[in-house]
Amino acid sequence: MKLLISILFTVFALFGSSALRAQERKIIQYSGIVTTVGSGLPVGYVTVTNLSFRNEAFAANNEGYFSFVAHVGDTIRFTSVGFDPLVVTIPEVSGDKYTANIIMQNLVTELPMVTPYPWASIEEFNIAFMNLDVSEDNIVRVRRSLSYESLAAMAAVIPRDGNEMRSINNAQSFNTMNNKVINQRYANPLLNPFAWGSLIQQITKGSQSRKSSNY
The helix (H) or strand (E) run that includes residue 88 is strand 86-89
Provide the edge-to-edge strand list for the sheet that holds 27-36: 65-71, 27-36, 97-104
- pLDDT tens digits, 45-93: 999 999 998 999 999 999 999 999 999 999 999 999 989 999 999 999 8
Q: What is the mean pLDDT of residues 15-43?
A: 78
Q: Higher-confidence residue: 11 or 37? A: 37
- pLDDT tens digits, 117-155: 888 888 888 888 888 776 667 787 788 888 888 888 888
The CA–CA distances, whole Å, from 162 to 32, 153, 165 equal 54, 20, 5
